[in-house]
């Protein structure tokens, strides 16, 4: 077998390995490889941040960490406090009410801080946070939904995966009544965190994977119930 035949045989063997042929074809296409590289690095960065958050559950400062993560997530931090709350309740189920209360308090106070950012520091800080999450479209959507649905949309944002930080900043920027904002935030955030902690207390470790996998669906069911409640109230009037 001459050199050219050997080279051709080795190339055919390499092409038969999964991924090798794709890598060879895209080697000269940087515009194909770049988005994949960016996405991979973003995922890796978020995973490290997620793991860093969970590590606090195994420290004596876990309660303070839960409060601070819940506070920060309501205005700028990307990782929701649910991750730390779940880890802490699974570790010490009897303290689930305490953990849910601390998480709710931190989130509501953090939401008030987000409100302050939108109310008084929108140009200096608010737009930077919105742009950090590429959420200008969501910001516009919030304003439109608020005009259409008022506090109902804020309640939805307080409970569901809609970035709550965008809702808190937008509430301040649109001069939403502060007392109404605090009340709705307390109800929405409290319902979310007490539901998560309560389910973990009742069902233990098996429910953890279920909540993390189907939280969006559970949120949707809650929103449907919330909308139904408002419709019933409107009908009774």
pLDDT at 16: 45
pLDDT > 80? residue 230: no
Q: Are 71 and 109 in contact (CB under 8 A)?
A: yes
Is the pLDDT reported for residue 218 higher than 70?
no
Q: How confident is residue 40, by pLDDT bands cut at 50, 70 and 90?
A: low
d(CA 90, CA 75): 27
Mean pLDDT (the chain, rounded):
74
Q: What is the DSSP letter of 57?
A: G
Mean pLDDT of 108-129: 92
Q: Which residues have CB under 8 Å from 165's CB, separation 6+?
A: 73, 74, 75, 76, 77, 114, 129, 133
Confidence of residue 58 (pLDDT cuts 50, 70, 90): confident
153-203 confidence digits (pLDDT tens): 788 888 876 778 888 988 898 888 999 999 999 999 999 999 989 988 888
Is 50 exceeded by the pLDDT of residue 52?
yes
DSSP string, 96-164: HHHHHHHHHHHHHHHHHHHHHHHHH-IIIIIHHHHHHTT-HHHHHHHHHHHHHHTHHHHHHHHHSSS-H
Report the pLDDT value the prediction gives residue 67, as an integer from 0 to 100.
Answer: 95
């Amino acid at each position: 077998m001459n050199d050219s035949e050997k080279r051709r045989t080795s190339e055919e063997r390499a092409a038969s390995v999964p991924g090798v042929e794709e890598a060879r074809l895209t080697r000269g296409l940087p515009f194909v490889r770049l988005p994949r590289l960016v996405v991979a690095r973003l995922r890796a960065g978020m995973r490290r941040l997620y793991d860093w958050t969970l590590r606090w559950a195994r420290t004596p400062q876990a309660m303070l960490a839960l409060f601070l993560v819940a506070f920060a997530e309501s205005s700028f931090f990307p990782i929701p406090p649910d991750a730390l709350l779940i880890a802490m309740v699974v570790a010490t189920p009897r303290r689930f009410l305490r953990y849910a209360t601390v998480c709710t308090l931190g989130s509501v106070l953090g939401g008030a801080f987000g409100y302050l950012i939108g109310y008084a520091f929108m140009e200096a800080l608010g737009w930077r946070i919105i742009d950090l999450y590429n959420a200008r479209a969501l910001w516009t959507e919030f304003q439109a939904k608020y005009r259409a649905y008022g506090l109902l949309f804020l309640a939805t944002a307080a409970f569901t995966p809609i970035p709550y930080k965008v809702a808190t900043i937008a509430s301040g920027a649109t001069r939403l009544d502060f007392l109404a904002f605090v009340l709705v935030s307390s109800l929405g955030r409290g319902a979310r965190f007490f539901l998560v902690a309560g389910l973990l207390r009742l069902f233990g470790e098996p429910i953890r994977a279920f909540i993390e996998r189907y939280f969006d669906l559970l949120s949707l069911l809650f929103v449907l119930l919330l909308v139904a409640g408002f419709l019933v109230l409107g009908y009774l009037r």
